[in-house]
Amino acid sequence: MVESLEAFLLPIAQTINTYLSNYILVFLLLGVGLWYTIKTRFIQIRCFGEGMKNVFGNLSLRGGKQASGMSSFQALATAIAAQVGTGNIVGASGAILVGGPGAIFWMWLIAFFGMATVYAEATLAIKTRQIDQDGNIKGGPVYYIREAFKGGFGKFMAGFFAIAITLALGFMGCMVQANSIGSTFNTAFAIPSWIVGAILVVFCAVIFFGGVHRLASVVEKLVPIMAAIFLGGALVVLIARYQYIPETFGMIFTYAFHPEAIIGGGFGFAIKEAISQGAKRGLFSNEAGMGSTPHAHAQANVKNPHEQGVVAMIGVFIDTFVVLTLNALVIISTLYTADGPLHECGAAAALSDTLNKTNLAQTAFGVVFGEQFGNIFVAICLLFFAFSTILSWNLFGKINVSYLFGDKAVPVYCIIALVFIFVGTLVSNDLVWELTDMFNNLMVIPNTLALFALTGVVVASAKKYSHRSK
């Protein structure tokens, strides 16, 4: 029965995603990013140094319990935990397989403009957040959507977003993360996926029901540690493959504009695949424009909205230009360069063979580390990435469930989310990814429309505060 349902749903989800990602999503993401880049006078460049100073100037892994909300770094760590997940490993692998190495270039482009987008999202999240009498902070796109669109239309758009993000991240997204953890641990350690799922549920439950303060305490330590482990391993591989680094970058830029040479088909088809995969996986990875990370940034205890806006930009930078890029460089330098098994072979051949987006990174790291240790290394990294993402996405879901149904519905939501996490380790990877992509894509529409509508608010904040920091 499950297989029949998957066979029925998969082509439907794929068709919807084809139209959304190829014809709507790319233009919305690039459009809003380019719009805010121009309107804020390239704030991702002008205020990049300020953002780095705010993040690393007083870096601490012991932010402590805040009277309400989180410290600025805790909010950023929660956002990065959401951003740095399977999209950086499994998602990037899938993009390279289907769209070729050139898809990474389009991810970079999406991320560059996305830094301006996330600045706007974080700024609006701070300006429109609500704080109740107990000091609990609730903020995110539903609140600035209501600010952008008054009356029944605004209520409908906010409700649509709240439902979409709950399904996309709270339920389907957690299934993606759990599925990837289960698959990689099965490959690395031969542990049945259902056992991994059961253990994962226990740890998630402890944090889910511990509130914002427990989440903040965990992610502020987990995110830097997991980043250091992955970056260290990736750098070891790249040092070992240093002679292929120029070729690797050459392939990224060459196949961004001539992807048909490696993925087959005509130029029009190939370029569409490269751009589509770059945009789709770029969205899923850095989440700029999706409307997810504003929930975390809304929790930040900062002096003004601009302060957290520039911090938010660093989250996108770390996610895409550091973590995702290093993973992509490892894959391309080991598998696609002159002595690699996919050299001039391309995605089509790879997909029909033994390699897929789930094990591609493990295979790549295995070229230097050996097959067994490569599998183990990626499995451990993916556990950290996916686990932290599950924690953050659950928080985002809580905020929107509370908006839709009130605080009493939150425990019920958490229980259902735990069920989805367990089920995610058992179902088809392709279906999980397609359903997640579909709801992710739908989230973008009301969020980006609100961002366009509130341009004046964001620009005014940037003008008011950015010059003060100089």
CATH code for residues 13-469: 1.20.1740.10
Which residues partner with 138 through β-bridges? 130
- 69 touches 302 (CB < 8 A): no
Q: Give residue 265's pLDDT.
A: 58
- Among 235, 216, 259, 247, residue whose Cα is nearest residue 76: 216
What is the mean pLDDT of each successive set of 10 residues along the chain, which is 470 residues long?
70 82 77 94 92 79 62 85 75 77 86 94 94 81 94 94 91 84 79 86 89 82 86 93 91 78 61 71 77 91 91 92 90 83 58 65 86 85 85 91 92 93 78 78 91 95 72
- Residue extents of the structural domains in the chain: 13-469
Q: Give residue 261's pLDDT.
A: 58
The whole-angstrom separation of Cα 395 and Cα 414 is 10
Give the model confidence (pLDDT) of 219-278 as tens digits: 888 888 888 898 999 999 999 999 999 999 998 888 888 766 565 555 666 676 777 777
Tokens representing 83?
Answer: 């951003």
Q: Give residue 302's pLDDT.
A: 87
The whole-angstrom separation of Cα 287 and Cα 114 is 8
Q: Give residue 415's pLDDT.
A: 94
pTM for the whole structure: 0.88
Q: Give residue 457's pLDDT.
A: 94
DSSP labels for 343-385? Answer: TTTHHHHHHHTT--TTTHHHHHHHHHH-HHHHHHHHHHHHHHH
Q: Give residue 79's pLDDT.
A: 87
Q: Give residue 342's pLDDT.
A: 72
Q: How many CB atoms lie within 10 A of CB 190?
A: 7
Q: How many residues does this entry show for the chain? A: 470
Q: Give residue 128's pLDDT.
A: 93
Q: Give residue 239's pLDDT.
A: 94
Q: Give residue 1's pLDDT.
A: 58
